[in-house]
Chain A
Amino acid sequence: MPSISFVFDDLCRLVGKKLSEAELVSLLDKAKAELDSKLSAEITVKYNDTNQPYLWSVEGLARHMRASLGKEKGAARIALEKSSLQLSVDRSVESVRPFIACFVAKGPALSEYVLGQLIQMQEKLADNFGRKREKVAIGLFPAGKVSWPLAYRAVEPKSVAFVPLGMVKQLTLRETLERHPKGKEFGHLLADAKKYPVVFDAKGHVVTFPPVVNSEESGKLSAGDSEIACEVTGTDESAVNLVSSIFAFALADRGFKIHPVKIRYAKRIVQTPKVEPYDFRFDTAQVGALLGLELSEGQLRDLLGRAQYDYQGKGRVKCPAYRGDLMHAVDVVEDVAIMYGYESISPLPLTSFTVGGLRAGEGVISAVRDLWRGFGYQEVFSPVLSNKQLLYDKMQADDMGTVEVENVMSSTYSCIRSWIVPILMDVLSKNRHVEYPQRLMEEGLVARREKDNVWDARQVAAVSAHAQASFTEMRQHVEGVMRSLGLECSFKEMDEGCTKSSFIPGRAAFVFVKDACIGFVGEIHPAVLEKFGLQVPVVACELGLDSLLQ
């Protein structure tokens, strides 16, 4: 979730209103944002929608608030200056980083604060929207220090040298990736590239080496600068253009005049930034259908205006150029709902009759849980993530087909449990100081794998630990549970299988219902008890429930 920090008074100045805390919170709600700090001179705001980068600057947020308050309704526009600035794009960048947008903003001298805000915006956009500069990277530099027109082309990594930002010596592009901190951080984005993209000025000086770092000599923006060039590169042209628009509108809100740049691609010429609102189809009937609200044309026009749309009538709106998040008419409908106010929408009850019901097999599952508890077993509920050391090593069992996690974070949670008895053994070992007898049961899911098949299984396991715990006791309980389900079961000595060594030989059995083996019961082997630090006999059982649910 992106968050930005700024001076609260600056926001109020940009909004044109001294906001109370309640007003601030309500306006932030409408921007799907929340205050992430106390209300003080400087505040931090966190955004829940990762898809609205035009709000990730104090300027963009203030613009949204002005519209919400009705101070500045409709799609924002910028009157672009006449400009002859050009940037040519060489075909060599097509395989590396094919798209670029650029413009120059001229206005008041940059204060330290505004410069800081620009840099924050550059970072948030490149990190969150630009996917850590892979999709979009942004460079800001003083427009007056370079000779126009600029040229964007890809060159051999060792063929060009320049002084990267913050350094004193010239480095080749390759060396920059190896030695400069930004080179180390972002060099992987060029790992597969044979040639590296560079923006040169008319004299052939390196201005910037996207997406890595600007030049120290001509690419360093400072407080006091009043002519700012903004260059955006990336792999997705619409994202590149969107980010340049977002910057242009933010700077325009700060009183800068925007001078566009003609981008000369090999076969076409485009002008950036894109600032003209674009058309979006929108069916007014959808407001009623989706929201259940009946709005007059006037109300609709007002709400759309507050959401920064120009309502054209007949299901057409114009959207500001920096809105790249609109995919479907429902997106516009939501904006209408937000400006209407969720709190003002009166609720409607559901009216159709539907029959409720628990999942299939619930009757058997809840009966099994009841029956075990009736025999005096305390029910346990555990995480299903586990580890093979517990499931197999400590139990002296063989791997019975385990669903393992590839990107393990903690060795304790490296797979889904394949059986439940080890979990209950672990509970016994953690409760050695608690009064015996200890009888525990857990019903729940396990996951199993066989070659390319993976499935969940519903199982119940029980353990009984006390001085007289025996096979007979547990078999009595298993038979008691099964008999109450109307099932007769038979027992066959366990002399094979994954869990053979978990039990004392001759004191463990597979449980059969008709011809199907549904589980096992047995006295835990003392060697296993020793591994769990237990000095009391334990008898255990585990039964699969899936075949009983039909």
Chain B
Amino acid sequence: MAIDAKWKKLAQSLTKYERDVLPLLSEGKFVPIAELAKVTGLSELQVQRAVQWLENKSLAVHKELPFEVVSLEANGKRYQKESLPERRMLEVLDEKGIPLAKLAQKAGISSEEVNAALGLLRGRGAVALVKEKELRVKITERGVELRKAKFAEEVFFGKQDFPCKVQDVRPEYRKVVEDLRRRKNILRVERAVERSVALAPGAGDILQFVDADTIDAVSPQLLSSGGWKGKEFRRYDVSSGVPKVFGGKVQPYRAFLDSVRQKFVGLGFEEMTGPLVEQDFWNMDALYMPQFHSARDIHDAYYVREPKEAPLDPRLVRRVKDVHESGKGANSRGWGYVFDVKRTHRLLLRTQGTACSSRKLASPDLRIPGKYFGISRVFRHDVIDATHLPDFNQVEGIVVEEGLTFRHLIGLLRMFAKEFAGAEEVRLVPGYFPFTEPSVELYAKHPQLGWIELGGAGMFRPEVVMPLLGRAVPVCAWGLGIDRLGMFKLGFKDIRNLFSHDLQFLRDAKVV
């Protein structure tokens, strides 16, 4: 019973082709594929596939027998359709004979064919070659006799379909085949193998369960007609492989950035944005970076070709100019140089996300207390390699609140290290940024990678806050190397993978 159940289940998993072929098989008797095709009405290819599947299920075995195939070549096809050259020659000859030189033209055959036909007809005693003034070909009496009947070759051509197996050629024509093979471009005989199939030993028990009515596909027609009732459905091999398909997927680095943004929102931060094309003013001057600062070198920032400048609020420019030159308005000594007002209007591609912070600080919609973050595309004049791109992302932010101190900033940084790098242990090292004092660099001990530089932070200098905000409110400012965090998170060694254009890579990328 258990064995029958196994056979039944197997029988139900057969496809239509298999169900067509299997009942025709028996143990030990090998049936050629072509014959199975003829009986089932399937194509040979379909039968072959069915046999392959049956073999995979150990229900069939096959063997391959060598044989020779006869097929017609170019001349053969022509002679079969029209007539043989020896027939044409014999038809035009008479007892007077024809000069050999004119024979080809008269018979409508090539000189090559004349030679072949002449040799053959002389061999049969049907023509004679006579030397008079010239060489002449005459028909003999035997030739006249032969002309009345069909040649063996003609009979063969008339009865045989090509290509055919040598073993299928009637014995009386075997010699004809041999003769024609020796002639030019008439017959080709090739070796081939023929696949024959038999039922696998011991598989006969399945035949009782093969049900021609098994349903392959569930179709709307089948459902509406109720034709499925009382019938079996074909079982699938649910464990076999299927072709891959690729859905529309989120880009892995964008997914990471989205998760970072969600996290900031969860921590009470509001997202801020700013333009890709910035001005020296917002990007640097408002951040109290002196105009002679080395990071402002033409070799570090991309400047815009045209237009070169864009307008600014002159009162704001005045305040920033004053603070650079003399510290006026911020109780500072200033940088002590002549501020170039034209230059502050200069357009460049944003070099740091802090530009968004300087804009936010000067914005009328700034909330105090307020917490802000922004993920910004920034540009640096860098040579591209595994760790540098000319265009990458930074996450920067500020916290603006009365009573805020450096201790709050340190608390914030420790929280970031934990939230974004899973790091409990951090190192806080004195740092330098022109716009913050005190300044600090944050290193975090990553669970897998050891100490990594996570970012920089500090309290905005009064020289930044006073001109932009107009009053002294403490501002914590910070920036995190988000591209590097993304690489860690996604397991990339090369920063270029963050912006990969390798479709296979994107299709195969994990999204969690």
Chain A residues engaging chain B, CB cutoff 8 angstroms = 29-30, 32, 48-51, 128, 131, 135, 236, 238, 289-293, 326-331, 333-334, 337-338, 342-343, 345-350, 352-359, 362, 366, 369, 372-385, 403-407, 409-410, 413, 416, 426-427, 430-431, 434-435, 438-441, 445, 447, 449, 451-456
Most buried by B among A358, A426, A445: A358
A-B contact pairs, 6 of them (CB 8 A): A48-B432, A238-B336, A292-B406, A356-B265, A416-B349, A434-B507
Q: Per-residue 0/1 for B403-430: is the Cβ within 8 Å of any A Cβ (1 yes, 0 no)?
A: 0011110111011000000000001111
B405 x A292 contact (CB < 8 A) = yes
Q: With both chains docked as a complex, state the minimum distance between the C-beta of B17 and any C-beta of chain A, in angstroms.
A: 27
A50 x B294 contact (CB < 8 A) = yes
Cβ-Cβ contact count across A and B, 8 Å cutoff: 246
- Please, how many angstroms separate the alpha-carbon atoms of A355 and B261 in the complex? 14
Chain B residues, Cβ within 8 Å of A292: 405-408
Closest to A30 in B: B430
* Interface size of B in residues (CB-CB distance below 8 Å): 95
- Please, how many angstroms separate the alpha-carbon atoms of A376 and B332 in the complex? 59
- Please, how many angstroms separate the alpha-carbon atoms of A383 and B261 in the complex? 20
A350 x B250 contact (CB < 8 A) = no
Partner of A327, one of B246, B273, B334, B370: B334
Q: Per-residue 0/1 for B257-285: is the Cβ within 8 Å of any A Cβ (1 yes, 0 no)?
A: 01001001111111111011100000000
Q: With both chains docked as a complex, state the minimum distance between the C-beta of B192 and any C-beta of chain A, in angstroms.
A: 35
Given contacts A337-B438, A380-B251, A403-B304, contact A385 B310 (CB under 8 A): no
B268 x A381 contact (CB < 8 A) = no
A328 x B463 contact (CB < 8 A) = yes
Most buried by A among B294, B432, B440: B432
Chain A residues, Cβ within 8 Å of B407: 291-293, 345-348
For residues 49 through 97 of chain B, which have their beta carbon under 8 Å from a beta carbon of chain A? Answer: none
Chain B residues, Cβ within 8 Å of A128: 294
- Please, how many angstroms separate the alpha-carbon atoms of A328 and B412 in the complex? 25
Chain B residues, Cβ within 8 Å of A445: 276, 377
A382 x B499 contact (CB < 8 A) = yes
B249 x A379 contact (CB < 8 A) = yes
A407 x B302 contact (CB < 8 A) = yes
Chain B residues, Cβ within 8 Å of A326: 333
Q: Per-residue 0/1 for B421-449: is the Cβ within 8 Å of any A Cβ (1 yes, 0 no)?
A: 00000011111101001111100000000
A431 x B504 contact (CB < 8 A) = yes
Q: With both chains docked as a complex, state the minimum distance between the C-beta of A359 and any C-beta of chain B, in angstroms.
A: 4
Chain B residues, Cβ within 8 Å of A385: 379, 390-391
Given contacts A357-B270, A380-B251, contact A350 B408 (CB under 8 A): yes
Q: With both chains docked as a complex, state the minimum distance between the C-beta of B430 and any C-beta of chain A, in angstroms.
A: 5
Q: With both chains docked as a complex, state the minimum distance between the C-beta of A338 and any C-beta of chain B, in angstroms.
A: 5
- Please, how many angstroms separate the alpha-carbon atoms of A398 and B411 in the complex? 53
Residue B303 interfacial (CB < 8 Å): yes
B277 x A330 contact (CB < 8 A) = no
B248 x A381 contact (CB < 8 A) = no
Closest to A329 in B: B331
Chain A residues, Cβ within 8 Å of B270: 354-357
Given contacts A50-B432, A405-B303, A438-B503, contact A376 B391 (CB under 8 A): no
For residues 452 through 467 of chain B, which have their beta carbon under 8 Å from a beta carbon of chain A? Answer: 459, 461-463
Q: With both chains docked as a complex, state the minimum distance between the C-beta of B383 and any C-beta of chain A, in angstroms.
A: 8
Closest to B379 in A: A385
B501 x A382 contact (CB < 8 A) = yes
A338-B438, A343-B427, A354-B367 given; 9 more Cβ-contact pairs under 8 Å? A29-B430, A291-B407, A328-B332, A330-B438, A338-B430, A354-B369, A378-B251, A404-B306, A440-B503
Closest to A239 in B: B336
Partner of A406, one of B277, B292, B303, B389: B303
B507 x A378 contact (CB < 8 A) = yes
Chain B residues, Cβ within 8 Å of A331: 437
Residue B399 interfacial (CB < 8 Å): yes
For residues 276 through 322 of chain B, which have their beta carbon under 8 Å from a beta carbon of chain A? Answer: 276-277, 292-294, 298-299, 302-307, 310
Partner of A350, one of B292, B333, B336, B411: B411
- Please, how many angstroms separate the alpha-carbon atoms of A451 and B307 in the complex? 7
Given contacts A51-B432, A347-B414, A454-B304, contact A381 B261 (CB under 8 A): no
Chain B residues, Cβ within 8 Å of A354: 268-270, 367, 369-371
B429 x A29 contact (CB < 8 A) = yes
- Please, how many angstroms separate the alpha-carbon atoms of A345 and B414 in the complex? 12
- Please, how many angstroms separate the alpha-carbon atoms of A30 and B267 in the complex? 32
- Please, how many angstroms separate the alpha-carbon atoms of A388 and B62 in the complex? 63
A377 x B432 contact (CB < 8 A) = no
Closest to A344 in B: B428
Partner of B501, one of A48, A236, A347, A430: A430
B277 x A356 contact (CB < 8 A) = no
Residue B157 interfacial (CB < 8 Å): no
- Please, how many angstroms separate the alpha-carbon atoms of A131 and B246 in the complex? 56
Closest to B405 in A: A292
Chain A residues, Cβ within 8 Å of B498: 381
B412 x A350 contact (CB < 8 A) = yes
Closest to A353 in B: B268
Closest to A386 in B: B391
B406 x A345 contact (CB < 8 A) = yes
Chain A residues, Cβ within 8 Å of B248: 372-379, 439, 441
Q: With both chains docked as a complex, state the minimum distance between the C-beta of B433 and any C-beta of chain A, in angstroms.
A: 9
Given contacts A291-B438, A327-B335, contact A342 B271 (CB under 8 A): no
